[in-house]
Amino acid sequence: MLQRSSKEQAASTPSPTLQMACLAPPPPSPPLDAAPSLKRRLQQFDALPYWEALEVTCPVFSNNYPPALLPLPTAILPTVFAQGKNNDLEWLGDQLVACAVALTIHRIAQDPECRALRSAPIFRTLVSGRFLAHIGVMYGLHLKTANPTTPSMKGVGDLFEAYVGALAQHSGFQTALEWLDRILSAWVETFCADEKMVAAKNLTLSKSIKSRYLSWKRRAAGAPPVPLQPLILPPGAGTKGFRLCAPPDEDCRQLLAAGLPGWDTIDLAAVPLPERYPPIPPPFDAPDLPSLADALTDPLCRLEFLDVEANSAYRIIGEQVFLLALTALAIDKLPTATPAELEESRIECANPALVARLGAILNLHRHFRMLRLDEGDLAAPRITTDHLEGAFHTLLGVMHLRLGWDALFEWLERMLGPWVLAAGYGTLRASDAAEKKRRLRLQCAEKRRIKREEHLREGRERQRLAEERNKQVAMPMRMPKRRRGFNQSRSGGVFFF
């Protein structure tokens, strides 16, 4: 350390006045540094008593991380940061984050085993409110909360979701998804590096799938299954490729009502559908057929035919894309609905029985590949709603990876729009979960109404009693006059006063 000269020390000696000022107690320091590094800022928030630490290892951030906050028009910023009034934006942003997480996992974890094995723990962590709150802190959104000095994790996370929802509505969904991908990439890479690669294919399958496979093996009694038929381009397809064609209109409506043999019937007679429904999806070219074959293959086949790839990654993407499309359509087509009513409409349209029927009217059951014992079993009606619900979701995942959001949503708007309107107007009532949520909401609203009426009645009674007391206080006391003299009673007696 360099030694200063005596002159420099004398010149730097503070005056008595400055010394007295230095003896005064220093002002209270802020709980956070003014400009700390990004990782240091997150660690400081984790040390606060009202904050929860991250569940994942913090990545090594580059100098240009996080990516710049994409701008929004100044006119909509008050709505974005008005907690309690930005529920629609928050609801949309929440689903956008979930969709972006699924897409980022699929892009970074190129190995199919890694995608299927890691997607569940990564997904749960990166869509949690705790993680989104830390992302909001990186962008300073904690300063926009109702209490910036002690911001809550939920408040910061909700503001980040609302900002993402507003960004999608202003700049486009594809722009919002790409921006979220740049934010999530470092975290997904770190998460994947922390876990070991598992080569065993059967470990990527859930316990329910293994249980179904063992049940099928017992029923097969050692008989070999029928080999899976590959998807091929029809003769003379040319540039049109493989196209999923819907059945005639009468058969389409019959499939919607009754489904395939063995399915439960649901009442869809009150749902108005446009002519030439459903819209024909975009065609698939020859390079897309392997992915399409994976989408239309039962996961049980992977335990029997080891050369069949899993469709778990496609299905995870498709489920989130499907929910995102329903969310965007509900906000657009039901502008007067409350947040609770929007959620009920989405649950109604995401009913597995309805989603499976959407797959049936696209003839997915005619291309669906599953374990069969013989040719007679090949014609047996064994395709369940679970099969076609998963096939429809997986098909959406494949289509999104091939087409992108804008082209896929153009088709999904015509495919799902009538059902969203029917759910919002009350003509679609096929989901028990939505009905239970709706009944609970109405019960809560009735309890609030009764409590509000009781409060108003008690208030009116208190006001009446207060007015009576005020009248008694304001009324002058009237004392009876005492007359001097005497008064003779009827009996002749004399009373003196």
pLDDT in tens, 337-354: 888 888 889 998 998 888
Pairing of strands 494-496, 486-488: antiparallel
Question: What values do phi and psi take at 462, rounded to 5?
Answer: -65, -40
Q: How many CB atoms lie within 10 A of CB 449?
A: 10
Give the highest mean pLDDT range of 115-124, 214-223, 397-406, 467-476. Answer: 397-406
Overall average pLDDT of the 406-417 stretch: 92
Model confidence at 98, pLDDT cuts 50, 70, 90, reads very high
pLDDT in tens, 8-53: 444 444 333 333 333 334 334 344 444 458 788 888 888 888 888 8
pLDDT in tens, 288-331: 777 787 778 877 776 666 555 556 778 888 999 999 999 999 99
Give the highest mean pLDDT range of 101-110, 142-151, 220-229, 396-405. Answer: 396-405
CA distance 176 to 194: 28
Buried b (16+ CB within 10 A) or exposed e, 194-215: eeeeeeebeebbeeebeebbee
Q: Which domains does the chain have, with CATH numbers?
A: 35-199 (1.10.1520.10), 206-226+241-430 (1.10.1520.10)
In the predicted structure, residue 496 carries a pLDDT above the cut 70: no
Model confidence at 429, pLDDT cuts 50, 70, 90, reads confident
User: Is the preceding peptide bond at 31 cis, omega within 30 degrees of 0?
Assistant: no
CA distance 107 to 181: 9
Q: Are 339 and 413 in contact (CB under 8 A)?
A: no
Task: Identify which has the larger pLDDT, 183 or 9.
Answer: 183
What confidence score (pLDDT) does residue 33 get? 41
Question: What values do phi and psi take at 465, rounded to 5?
Answer: -65, -40
What confidence score (pLDDT) does residue 170 get? 92
Residues in the chain: 497
For residue 283, give the DSSP letter: P
> Closest Cα partner for 121 from 177, 59, 55, 202?
55
What confidence score (pLDDT) does residue 232 get? 59
Angstrom distances, CA of residue 473 to CA of 465, 470, 476: 13, 5, 8
Model confidence at 441, pLDDT cuts 50, 70, 90, reads low
- Structure tokens, 289: 């057929």
CA distance 395 to 282: 11
Give pTM, 2 decimals.
0.76
